[in-house]
Amino acid sequence: MLRTLRARVLFYMLLVSMLGIVIVSIFIQWGFDKSFNMYLERGREQKIERVINQAKADYQRSGRFDSEQLKRLTHEYALSEELYFQIYDTNGRVRHNTLLLRTVLNGMGVVVPANEEGLESRSYPLMIDGGKAGEVVAFFSLDFVQEESNFLQIIQLYIIGAVCITVIISIIFSMFFSKTMMRGLNKLQFAANQLQKHDLDIRIPLGGLPEEIKQLAISFNNLAESLSKEEMLRKNFTGDLAHELRTPLATLRSQIEAYQDGIWEPTPQRLKQSHFELMRLVRLVNELEKLLAAENPQMQLELVKMEAGMVLSSMWEMFSPAFHDKGVTLNYIEPEEEEWFYGDRDKVSQILSNVINNALKYTPEGRQVTLSVNGDNAYSVGIVVEDEGAGMAEEDLPHIFERFYRGDKSRDRKTGGAGIGLSIVKALIDAHKGRIQVKSKLNKGTTFTLWFPREKE
């Protein structure tokens, strides 16, 4: 019955509205009845007070309780308010009694209980000059008279009418609200279905959406944008990978066919060239394997305490020959104090090797690369690799760690890169709960600062 979200929202909104209306109506009715009874009680007491005052005035004037004013007043209350009186003298004899009117009314065909049946009574002493001159007993019914009942019925009709109008308004508002809310969810559902059909250009318009659904729509749009970028990068990478594979494979194929047909002699120089093309393929496959391993969420790090100066010193010794062969100076600035951090030795070595290799690859002969330590941060240690190489364009910086992204494609092909080295670095840094800062100017150089945590998390 309540299988759809809109039906559930509508049902529960109406349920809450109905409960609220019923509770409010009950309290209004109860409060009105209580207030109305208090109003009637005050009016009754005022009438009784008038009769008592008139009886006192009669007694002071004539010593009796039979004035026309007293009779007219008590008879009026008896007939209109069903408020009856008996007035006793000091000897306990009845001197005035309007209860007899009930018998008269029965004789006239008006059905009312006889005597005191069905009536409440209250006694009031007549005190004059400090002495008791008699007693007034008032008889009254706790039921409402006809006029009072009519008034209450009218009020109840008004309350019922107000409840009905409120219910109708609640239904209309609930339907409108649920429809408005579902409009945004329907847009989201439609967009999700389109995304499932590989429509990566689908976006949800944000206008008119409730704030919560708007945030959900923004998240969906961001997801679609990310998927669109990933798809574009994947296509670019597929083309780049096909190019990287096509060249060495075509070269190897032609060389092997030449050997087979006897066109070429397998001289050492030609075999060396074939081996070079083969190693290009091996390097590409190895980089892909490293990327898959680095992005594996199940990867376990063996974190140990490492000293940044010692790590950089060993990297300097490892890479110095390669830099010397290319004619690039590799500098190492030893830190003034020991700076310790936690890292996986193999993964830290892999990170630094990738970054330093990039610096070597893009730094021309006669320039220099500098390795240093930044210990200014209280929570992490920075390892700095600064080169005087080709640098990167400003528009490329936000994307350099994206998988398969290559800013200057021709430059990567010349240097043999596949555009995934920095993706490996980013994945391994993230696994260490670290971060990377990059500053670069085109044709000026690039500075990588790799931050590793000082404490285990």
Q: What pTM does this model have?
A: 0.48
Model pLDDT, residue 370? 96
What confidence tens digit (pLDDT) does each residue in 24-65 have?
888 888 888 888 888 888 988 999 999 999 988 888 888 888
Rg over alpha carbons for the chain, rounded to the nearest Å, is 50
Q: Give the CATH superfamily of 301-453.
A: Histidine kinase-like ATPase, C-terminal domain (3.30.565.10)
pLDDT at 413 over 60: no
How many other C-beta atoms can be found within 10 angstroms of the C-beta atom of residue 138? 22
Q: Determine how β-strand 131-140 pairs with β-strand 83-88.
A: antiparallel
**pLDDT band of 144, cuts 50, 70, 90:** low
* Separation between Cα atoms, residue 14 and residue 408, nearest integer Å: 62
Task: Give the whole-angstrom CA distance, residue 305 versus residue 455.
Answer: 9
Average pLDDT estimate for 136-144: 81
pLDDT band per the 50, 70, 90 thresholds, residue 411: very low
- In CATH, the number for domain 5-148 is 3.30.450
Q: Give the count of beta carbons closer than 10 Å to the beta carbon of residue 337.
A: 7
Structure tokens at 356: 């330093």
110 has pLDDT over 50: no
User: For 398-410, how does the pLDDT look when each residue is reduced to its tens digit (9 = 90+)?
Assistant: 888 876 566 654 4
Report the chain's terminal Cα–Cα distance, integer Å: 50
Answer whether 372's CB lies under 8 Å from 308's CB. Answer: no
Token readout for 64 is 């009796």
Domains of the chain by residue range: 5-148, 228-292, 301-453
C-alpha span between 248 and 259 (Å, rounded): 16
Query: For residue 400, which amino acid is it?
Result: I
Give the lowest-confidence range in 102-111, 115-124, 215-224, 364-373.
102-111
**Which pLDDT band holds residue 190 (cuts at 50, 70, 90)?**
confident
pLDDT, position 310: 95
| pLDDT greater at residue 153 or residue 335 | 335
Token couple for 298: 């199940």
Residue position matching structure tokens 């008279």: 145
The correct CATH number of 228-292 out of 3.40.50.1100, 2.60.120.10, 1.10.287.130, 1.10.357.10 is 1.10.287.130
